[in-house]
């Protein structure tokens, strides 16, 4: 049992972080509702710290000095965790007056989904759910994202307003 203690601890921390590090309401500087992925960001950041501590602890280990490729693997794990944390930090959906914007990283193109193409807005629930778009498109969301209930409420209000304005 002692052998599996780090794995059990990691799984416990992962489940707690993903479900606790989310807020009901997220907004950007302009007051627009957004969806963020704070849980994954913190989880990957903890993974990067884990790998950094592992590398520092193993620097004086004779096995790692004799076989340095093990240290390279640990450094690679830390770098990959840091890159994943970077992407999770910049991941966001933003609801504007006319569009839903998806931004995954600062150097990637922002993807725009016009509000006119939204067919169905789901109710908030646990697990995965989809915002259905025209042409068999969809925006897939998870309940572990931060700000989902407020975002869905504002999106529903925007769609209702557009329908009322059209009539």
In whole angstroms, give the CA distance from residue 21 to residue 145.
Answer: 9
Kindly report the length of the chain: 167
pLDDT given for residue 58 in this prediction: 82
Residue 31 has pLDDT above 70, yes or no: yes
pLDDT given for residue 89 in this prediction: 92
pLDDT given for residue 22 in this prediction: 74
Q: Which residue has the higher pLDDT, 139 or 163?
A: 139
Task: Quickly state the pLDDT bin for 1 (edges 50, 70, 90).
Answer: low
Tell me the pLDDT tens digit for each residue of 39-70: 889 889 988 988 898 888 888 878 777 778 87
Q: And the tokens for 10?
A: 């990691």
End-to-end CA distance of the chain: 66
Q: Which residue has the higher pLDDT, 134 or 13?
A: 134
Element (H, E) at 92: strand 92-95
In whole angstroms, give the CA distance from residue 106 to residue 91.
Answer: 9
What is the bridge-based pairing of β-strands 92-95 and 34-36? antiparallel
Residue 90 has pLDDT above 80, yes or no: yes
Element (H, E) at 139: strand 137-142
Q: CB within 8 A of 118, min separation 6: which ones?
A: 100, 131, 132, 133, 155, 159
Spatial CA neighbour of 46 closest among 90, 92, 6, 10: 10
User: Chain-wide mean pLDDT for the chain?
Assistant: 85
């Amino acid at each position: 049992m002692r052998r599996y203690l780090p794995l059990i601890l990691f799984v416990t921390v992962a489940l707690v972080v993903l479900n606790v590090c989310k807020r009901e309401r997220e907004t950007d500087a302009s007051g627009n509702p957004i969806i963020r992925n704070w849980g994954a960001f913190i989880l990957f950041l903890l993974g990067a710290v884990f790998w950094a501590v592992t590398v520092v602890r193993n620097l004086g280990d004779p096995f790692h000095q004799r076989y340095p490729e093990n240290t390279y693997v640990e450094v690679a794990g830390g770098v990959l965790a840091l890159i994943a944390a970077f992407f999770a930090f910049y991941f966001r959906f933003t609801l504007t007056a006319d569009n839903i914007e998806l931004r995954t990283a600062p150097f990637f193109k922002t993807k725009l989904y016009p509000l006119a193409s939204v067919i169905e807005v789901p109710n908030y629930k646990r697990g995965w759910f989809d915002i259905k778009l025209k042409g068999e498109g969809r925006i897939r969301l998870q309940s572990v994202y931060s700000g989902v209930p407020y975002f869905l409420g504002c999106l529903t209000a925007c769609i209702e307003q557009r329908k009322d304005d059209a009539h």
